[in-house]
Amino acid sequence: MHATMIEINDLHKRYKMGDNIVHALRGVSLKIEAGEFVAIMGPSGSGKSTLMHILGLLDVPDEGSYKLYGEEVSVLDEVALAALRSRTVGFIFQQFNLLARTSAGENVALPQIYSGEEPNLIKARALLERVGLGTRFEHRPNELSGGQQQRVAIARALINDPRIIFADEPTGNLDSQSQEEIMGLLTELNNQGITIILVTHETEVAAHAKRIVRVRDGQIQEDKIITPHKPIDAVWNRVAPKVNVPKAGFGRLSQSAVRATRAYVNEALRALLANKLRTVLSMLGILIGVAAVIAMLALGAGAKLSIEKELASLGTNLLTLSTGSPQSGHVSLGAGMVSKLTLDDGLDIPKNIEHVKNIAPTVNGRAQVVFNDKNWNTRIIGSGPGYAPMRAAVPVIGRFYTDQEDQERARVAVIGMTVVRNLFGEANPLGEMVRINKVSFQVVGILPEKGAGPFFDQDDIVVVPVATAMRRLLGKSFLDSVDIEVDDSKNMTEVSDGIIDLMLKRHRLTEDQSDAFQVRNLADIQAALSATSRIMAVLLAVIASISLVVGGIGIMNIMLVSVTERIREIGLRKAVGARPKDILMQFLIEATVVSVSGGAFGIAIGWGISATMSWLAGWPTTVSLNSVLLASIFSAAIGIIFGLWPARKASRLHPIEALRHD
């Protein structure tokens, strides 16, 4: 074993304070053997603390050589230094630097999180018993005296079985009795083979050491041995087992991803629960954003379903022929000014055009329907028997009228459920006589219920034979439109062109007057409305997502505040072995936990808002699995994206600068 543990040669350290350069160390050289007890003394500003921080791997020199166990460490990066601090060094701070909202036992076990081991609370309890605090395991720092807090710090320094303990003014904030107890404990540890290096300006404290190094103006003035050092082998043989000493490169002990992640999550949750109000406020922005996304997507999906339902009730592969609005010059003559649709026009279509499956000549109007002492104003549709199969209107009760009844101008009617409720209530309307514009009609069927949309009630209708409606009810000589069902959607264009040609021929019009008739393709209308509903759903989602981004900015601001408030904590974690990656992951997980938790509550609230809107307004809403997954992924991504900068800022803090932060 290499007898020399620490060897430094010509160390220099400078600090820039404004426009001035302060030389903290000026060419310091020193050797310390394993098992020594060294006190570094000097007045304030002499450079003793700077020397301690460099020896303790919390700081790096500007110039010079620092060898630990024969390996040069002055050029190591932050990750390698963190590995050394974790496995080789234990640090006792003057200000104790305990985590305020963490128990004594958890404070002691803290370095194990960053050493690749599972935090061992049994070992932590044993160390607390060793320093006389076995009964204080669950106590927090604010429940301990200064001397007890320093004992916890000593136990923490021992948790990873270090070979060196650095103590920076370990008795500076203690009374005389506590001072003697702490120094007695350090002496005992040194007698067990642990190298002790302490900084002090008190002679009575330095008297416990076996070697005193005096520093002034950044240089060693005196190096005095008080008690001869025992050979390292003799000391080491009394300390049990051989300790693994870091080799060249100082590779960090491997640890499983699961264990590391669990440790990060535990620390993140602990930090979040320690500041419950701030955590809730951080969640609020994401919660509102996710709830808005869920509610808006549900609203858009419900509107889309409602439109699709209404369109489905119109039938499929349908064309609608009606009169157009031809122009004379740049002036519209109005619909039906050049020609009008007759019943014969409609009946002639299937005779002359292929691929026509069915037709339904149609007239529309409104009328007062009376039954006994009740009356109801409703929409009247006069159409052919083809209306039922083409418009998904086959009666659920009773029947539809026949071709013969249509030709005979029979006074029969098929009514919708809204008319049934308002005229008949719970009574059976089949076979009953109703008066429509004072003309009696017999109810022969009840139409299937299709529901009320945002624009009109599809069940508030009465359907009668077209000839009856034209001659006896509405007094119309011409049709309003003709519905044509095509046998296959691929034949829609061919049939549409054929209808226009037929109408021009029947009405003796030229091709220049083809705008006298128009054929609308309901499939195109359906596609347009569906596309519009999708665009509206996306638009609503985008608008709602803006609040998610605002929530993410809120998380970033809160996390930046958290980093600023916890700079000393970050310094402590780095001092006990945390790598930049460990700090980065902890703060990133904190942001993600806040975001995901807010997202989860937002999903529940969004679902509740959707259900409430559906119940109060009667507007259909649908919370889909895709919208939930989208909101979940988006909220997690927001946490990662907006938490990355604060987390990266925290990870890049220098340990000694963080520990000095006020």
CA distance 338 to 328: 11
Amino acid sitting at position 479: L
| pLDDT tens digits, 595-653 | 888 888 888 888 888 888 777 766 667 777 777 777 778 777 877 888 888 888 888 88
Tell me what the mean pLDDT of segment 25-36 comes to. Answer: 91
The candidate with the shortest Cα–Cα distance to 197, out of 227, 156, 230, 163, is 163
- Whether residue 246 is predicted with pLDDT greater than 60 in this model: the reply is no
- Whether residue 569 is predicted with pLDDT greater than 60 in this model: the reply is yes
- Whether residue 79 is predicted with pLDDT greater than 60 in this model: the reply is yes
Among the listed ranges 206-210, 312-316, 385-389, 472-476, which one has the minimum average pLDDT value? 312-316
Cβ atoms < 10 Å from Cβ of 552: 24
Say if CB 436 and CB 413 are below 8 A apart. yes
Say if CB 268 and CB 589 are below 8 A apart. yes
Q: What is the enclosing helix (H) or strand (E) of 274? A: helix 257-274
The token pair that represents 430 in the structure block: 């089949």
Residue whose entry in the numeric block shows the structure tokens 């061992």: 120
* Structure-model confidence comparison of residues 164 and 280, the more confident one: 164
Q: How far apart are the first and last CA of the chain?
A: 42
| pLDDT tens digits, 322-380 | 887 655 444 444 444 457 888 888 889 989 999 898 899 999 999 999 998 899 999 99
Rounding to the nearest 10 degrees, give the CA dihedral for residues 154, 156, 161, 165.
-40
Per-residue confidence (pLDDT) for residue 619, from 0 to 100: 63
The token pair that represents 235 in the structure block: 């000391």
For residue 428, report the phi and psi dihedrals to the nearest 5 degrees.
-80, 120
* Structure-model confidence comparison of residues 565 and 140, the more confident one: 140
Angle (CA) 511-321-334 rounded to 5° is 70
Say if CB 343 and CB 470 are below 8 A apart. yes
Among the listed ranges 195-209, 277-291, 321-335, which one has the minimum average pLDDT value? 321-335
Q: Compute CA distances 586 → 113, 270, 509, 591, 648, whole Å.
A: 11, 11, 80, 9, 10
Amino acid sitting at position 403: D
Name the pLDDT band for 247 (thresholds 50, 70, 90).
very low
The token pair that represents 175 in the structure block: 């009374």
The candidate with the shortest Cα–Cα distance to 27, out of 44, 41, 47, 45, is 47
Report if pTM > 0.75.
Answer: no
Say if CB 65 and CB 28 are below 8 A apart. no
- Whether residue 432 is predicted with pLDDT greater than 90 in this model: the reply is yes
CA distance 283 to 541: 20
CA distance 495 to 502: 10
244 CB-contact burial (10 Å; exposed 0-12 / middle 13-18 / buried 19+): exposed
Residue whose entry in the numeric block shows the structure tokens 């009356």: 375
Tell me what the mean pLDDT of segment 99-108 comes to. Answer: 88
Residue whose entry in the numeric block shows the structure tokens 């086959």: 394
**Mean pLDDT score of the chain:** 82
Structural domains for the chain: 35-63+78-245 (3.40.50.300), 272-308+528-659 (no CATH), 340-508 (no CATH)
625 CB-contact burial (10 Å; exposed 0-12 / middle 13-18 / buried 19+): exposed
Rounding to the nearest 10 degrees, give the CA dihedral for residues 639, 641, 646, 652.
130
Q: For residue 438, is it left (φ>0), alpha (ψ between -120 and 50) or beta?
A: left
* Structure-model confidence comparison of residues 401 and 616, the more confident one: 401
Say if CB 606 and CB 298 are below 8 A apart. yes
* Structure-model confidence comparison of residues 525 and 137, the more confident one: 137
The candidate with the shortest Cα–Cα distance to 499, out of 346, 313, 288, is 346
The candidate with the shortest Cα–Cα distance to 380, out of 462, 301, 439, is 462
CA distance 212 to 215: 10
